[in-house]
């Protein structure tokens, strides 16, 4: 989502030039995995995370994990994601829950979701990879199945796999729940990755209502040892907007 001033394959060098040691991206499937791997290697950045394919755009799908009857597509998309992740040395895949169909029984959606996550956990365990699940705000994806941290934690309990963790995006969680510091502290052992963007406009830290100076110091103080991904839309030039990040980069 950053460095959109340049084509996708040029963003790895741009990120490295700004001081980043690692990157994530959402959907790499328009490009060949070997080309992505080469650009990341040349830039000297590690690839941390990307999404599984979304499913079928014409169906309005935003993932298929919660959709009964779409298990074959879920597994097909998982294999494609594994192919890309393996090629670039990425060890985390975001498994999107999907949009709940109108009138669908929540119990049936939950059963499909847990079953698909259990399958993904076993498949990715064989690859030495993690499955990440991310609650999204209704403002961003209307009707999304996974919308809260407590719901995500219950899913982890049902799946019962050590390599399935929460991708905690403070943008979505501020909108849906607030109380970010306490929520992150409570969920800390179950958080595999943090992402940040300010609210309400999903721009860089300092552009909205979240006190990132406090929040990032708190995350350090409670012992979070993972990565923090900048998943925001810059207000203008990416490099200009990264002034907030100089203490961290």
Distances (CA, A) of 109 to 48, 151, 239: 29, 13, 42
**Beta-ladder partners of 22:** 46
Give catalytic status of residue 158 as yes or no: no
The single residue of 24, 61, 204, 231 carrying the catalytic annotation is: 231
Distance CA(140)–CA(233), nearest Å, equals: 13
Q: What is the DSSP string of the chain?
A: ---TTS-GGGHHHHHHHHT-SEEE-S--TTS-HHHHHHHHHHHT-EEEEEEPP---GGGT-S--TT-TT-HHHHHHHHHHHHHHHHHHT--EEE----BPPTT--HHHHHHHHHHHHHHHHHHHHTTT-EEEE----TTTSTTBS---HHHHHHHHHHH--TTEEEEEEHHHHHHHT--HHHHHHHHGGGEEEEEE--TTT--STTSSS--HHHHHHHHHHTT--S-EEE----SS-HHHHGGGGTTT-
Q: Which of 24, 61, 134, 204 is catalytic?
A: 134
83 is catalytic: no
- Name the residues annotated as catalytic: 134, 231
């Amino acid at each position: 989502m950053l460095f959109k001033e340049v084509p996708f394959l040029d963003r790895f060098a741009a990120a490295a030039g700004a001081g980043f040691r690692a990157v994530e991206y959402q959907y790499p499937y328009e490009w060949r995995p070997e080309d992505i791997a080469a650009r990341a290697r040349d830039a000297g950045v590690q690839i941390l995370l990307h999404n599984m394919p979304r499913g079928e755009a014409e169906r309005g799908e935003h993932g298929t994990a919660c959709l009964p009857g779409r298990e074959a597509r879920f597994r097909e998309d998982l294999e494609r994601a594994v192919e890309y992740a393996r090629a670039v040395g990425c060890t985390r895949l975001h498994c999107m829950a999907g949009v709940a169909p109108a009138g669908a029984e929540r119990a049936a959606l939950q059963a499909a979701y847990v079953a698909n996550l259990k399958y993904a956990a076993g498949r990715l365990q064989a690859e030495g990879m993690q499955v990440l699940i991310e609650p999204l705000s209704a403002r961003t994806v209307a009707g999304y199945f996974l919308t809260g941290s407590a719901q995500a934690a219950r899913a982890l309990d049902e799946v019962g796999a050590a390599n399935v963790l929460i991708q905690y995006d403070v943008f979505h969680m501020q909108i849906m729940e607030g109380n970010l510091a306490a929520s992150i502290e409570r969920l800390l052992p179950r958080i595999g990755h943090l992402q940040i963007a300010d609210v309400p406009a999903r721009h860089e830290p300092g552009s909205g209502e979240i006190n990132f100076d406090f929040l990032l110091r708190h995350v350090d103080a409670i012992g979070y040892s993972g990565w923090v991904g900048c998943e925001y839309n810059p207000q203008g030039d990416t490099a200009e907007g990264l002034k907030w990040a100089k203490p961290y980069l």
